[in-house]
């Protein structure tokens, strides 16, 4: 069954940074085509749209959809309907309902849908999960603060409705939190800060609790210059756990317990191959549900206009 003939749609930043190097090393996927209005990959047949690619390359078995989330559903629906397995970049869509529809379409067509959460494959995430399972958690603090001008220069879609704003990186934190906590938590209050000229927030503060009244507090901010922070700190009966650098490092009571080079996208493609081989889908909507809840429940604060 391997290698699987793969097409990529939306050749942009994340494709160049992560997908192409990981696919090049993968024994399970062979990149045979791209569909992108402007982006191309040297040596790989290029089409402008997914329709053209599907028509021209009948041997295609799977597609990775890497365009902004607002434009992903139509491409995903076309690919699944054509009998192709689909890898969705994060967040898996612009709404919960459209992703549920894709899941049903994948089941009806007997193909696999994979909603990827790359941060869950950061190297210290599984050790953090194991540590938290071994103790009792008193509180959790999530701090995700970065400089949007550095990480997302001139990405207009991110400020438009459905682009998620600061939840674009924040959902990475939520994908880790939903994976490492022993019980599901839910938002009890939130404040979202919208620049007066944008339809998506630049900062957010979220309070969660779970059935045992565990307090989880998260602060996401895109106005951070200087040191960037992607930390999850848990106070536990066994001491303080700090999962830092977006899940790359784990320390407990100040002692570094785990630090390894990241291989997030290599792991994502291995997982996609596993899901296809098993004949099933992997679609966990918990991180996107929290973002939707923040928009449902959050107070809206208008702040200074943002210019790139």
90, 120, 249, 290: which one binds ligand NAP (CB under 6 A): 90
Q: Does 36 bind ligand NAP (CB under 6 A)?
A: yes
Q: Which residue is nearest to ligand NAP (CB)?
A: 12
CA-CA distance, 92 to 72, in Å (whole number)?
8
Q: Which one, 67 or 234, has the nearer CB to ligand NAP?
A: 67
Residue 90 is among the residues annotated as catalytic for this protein = yes
CA-CA distance, 248 to 246, in Å (whole number)?
6
Q: Does 69 bind ligand NAP (CB under 6 A)?
A: yes
285: CB partners within 8 A, 6+ apart: 92, 96, 99, 100, 115
Q: Closest Cα partner for 109 from 271, 279, 270, 272?
A: 279
Q: Which one, 140 or 177, has the nearer CB to ligand NAP?
A: 177
1, 38, 153, 254: which one binds ligand NAP (CB under 6 A): 38
Q: What x/- string results for residues 197 through 226 when contact with ligand NAP is judged by CB under 6 A?
A: ------------------------------
Q: What x/- string results for residues 133 through 172 when contact with ligand NAP is judged by CB under 6 A?
A: ----------------------x-x----------x----
CA-CA distance, 149 to 143, in Å (whole number)?
18
Stretch of residues binding ligand NAP (CB under 6 A), selected from 67-75, 107-115, 191-199, 219-227: 67-75
Stretch of residues binding ligand NAP (CB under 6 A), selected from 9-17, 101-109, 132-140, 182-190: 9-17
DSSP 158: G
Specify the residue for token string 């959790």.
140
- What count of other Cβ atoms lies within 10 Å of the Cβ of residue 211? 9
Beta-strand (E) ranges in the chain? 4-9, 29-35, 46-47, 62-65, 85-88, 113-115, 137-145, 185-195, 203-210, 215-221, 229-236, 239-244, 249-252, 255-259, 299-303
Q: Does 78 bind ligand NAP (CB under 6 A)?
A: no
Q: Which one, 68 or 247, has the nearer CB to ligand NAP?
A: 68
Q: Does 95 bind ligand NAP (CB under 6 A)?
A: no
Give me the residues that bind ligand NAP (CB under 6 A), please.
Answer: 10-14, 36-39, 66-69, 71, 89-90, 118, 155, 157, 168
């Amino acid at each position: 069954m391997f290698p699987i003939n793969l097409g990529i749609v939306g050749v942009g930043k994340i494709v160049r940074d992560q997908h192409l190097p990981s696919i090049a090393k993968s024994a399970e996927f062979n990149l045979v085509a791209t569909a992108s209005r402007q982006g191309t990959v040297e040596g790989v047949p290029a089409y402008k749209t997914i329709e053209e690619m599907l028509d021209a390359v009948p041997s295609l078995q799977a597609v990775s959809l890497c365009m902004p989330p607002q434009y992903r559903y139509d491409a995903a629906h076309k690919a699944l309907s054509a009998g192709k397995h689909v890898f969705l970049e994060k967040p898996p869509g612009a709404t919960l309902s459209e992703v549920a529809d894709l899941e049903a379409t994948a089941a009806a067509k007997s193909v696999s849908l994979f909603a990827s959460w790359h941060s869950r494959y950061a190297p210290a995430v599984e050790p953090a999960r194991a540590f938290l399972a071994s103790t009792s958690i008193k509180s959790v603090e999530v701090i995700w603060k970065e400089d949007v001008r550095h990480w997302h220069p001139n990405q207009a879609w991110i400020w438009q409705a459905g682009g998620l704003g600061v939840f674009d990186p924040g959902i990475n934190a939520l994908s880790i939190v939903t994976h490492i906590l022993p019980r599901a938590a839910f938002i009890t209050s939130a404040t979202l800060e919208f620049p007066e000229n944008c339809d998506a927030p630049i900062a957010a503060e979220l309070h969660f609790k779970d059935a045992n009244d565990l307090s989880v507090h998260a602060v996401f901010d895109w106005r951070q210059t200087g040191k960037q922070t992607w930390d999850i700190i848990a106070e536990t009966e066994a001491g303080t756990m700090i999962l830092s650098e977006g899940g790359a490092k784990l320390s407990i009571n100040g002692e570094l317990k785990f630090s390894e080079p990241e291989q997030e996208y290599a792991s994502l493609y291995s997982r996609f191959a596993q899901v296809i081989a098993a004949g099933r889908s992997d679609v966990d909507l918990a991180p996107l549900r929290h973002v939707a809840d923040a928009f449902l429940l959050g107070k809206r604060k208008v702040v200074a206009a943002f210019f790139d």
